[in-house]
Amino acid sequence: MSFSLLRSLGLVLAAASFLFASPAAFAEEAGDDVVARVNGTDVRFSDLLMAEDEMGQALQGVPEEVKFEYLLSLLIDRSIIAGEARDKGLADDPGVQRRMAYYQAKALRDVYWTQLVSARITDEAAQAFYDTQVAGAEPQEEIRARHILLATEEDAKAVKAELDGGADFEALAKERSTGPSGPEGGDLGYFTTGTMVDEFNDAAFALQAGEVSQPVKTRFGWHVIKVEDRRLQEVPAFEAVRDQVMASLAQEEGRKLMEEMRAAAVIEIVGAEEASGRPLIAPQE
């Protein structure tokens, strides 16, 4: 399906934690094997998953085998240092206690929040959300276009003259276009209005299928555009967009749930005005 329809409907992907169980729960299903033992303390597969979750985007794109080795090394080092700290009695240190309280609250929140939101993300709720947000939306017109990107107006006019003389657009794009779509004959696929920069968008949507534009200037250079097709977007079937619908539903239900819980809570903002002027740099402990 075309992503532009999802975007126009506000169906952006939500955080995966809204939809799925915790990394530890995944490990329990798959078998939470011991992957290392440090001074008698087990390091389990679930620890690796939680470490990966903790690292967030920092490891995005890293090969799996490299990621595994990095996280395992990280956890081994952490276990060594934590073990020594524990032996020296630091478990009762006020700084450690404060951090433990913070991460305990975070762990409770993460697990419980996933349970609460997941309970609201049923197949029936997803289908109803789809019926309202997707199936009931008016489809947009989209066009399929090619373009030839050139550095100067003179080059663009020369290309337009060749096209008017019968040159093949796709072949000329492969030969002359300086844009990344050049090797594909300038093919930009299907897109809806507002997807491209304004000058390109206005020129492209003014054309009928089969027509070629006059040279059009944008911040990228000079374009000669050909529209190959115009159509209304098809409404995607539920199964085709099920994951996106579930994610967007989770985002919406999470927002409503948090509003409900805040409304029921007794919240006192104490000393925030004075604290807001202090730098957010943790003191050295």
- Residues 215-273 pLDDT 10s: 999 999 999 999 999 999 888 889 998 999 999 999 999 999 999 999 999 998 887 77
pLDDT at 283: 53
Provide the CATH topology of domain 141-232: Chitinase A; domain 3 (3.10.50)
Closest CA to 148 of 218, 224, 97: 224
Q: What's the CA gap between 176 and 9, in Å, rounded?
A: 37
- Residues 140-164 pLDDT 10s: 899 999 999 999 999 999 999 999 9
DSSP string, 127-187: HHHHIIIIITSPPPEEEEEEEEEESSHHHHHHHHHHHHTT--HHHHHHHH--STTGGGTTE
pLDDT at 10: 34
Q: Specify burial of residue 180 (Cβ count, 10 A radius: 0-12, 13-18, 19+).
A: exposed
pLDDT at 132: 87
Tell me how far the alpha carbon of residue 262 is from its chain's centroid. 27
**pTM, full prediction:** 0.58
Using an 8 Å Cβ cutoff, are 117 and 254 in contact? yes
The CATH 3.10.50.40 domain(s) of the chain lie at 141-232
Average pLDDT per 10 consecutive residues for the chain, totaling 285 residues: 36 37 49 90 92 87 89 95 95 94 94 93 91 81 97 97 97 96 96 95 97 97 98 89 91 95 92 71 54
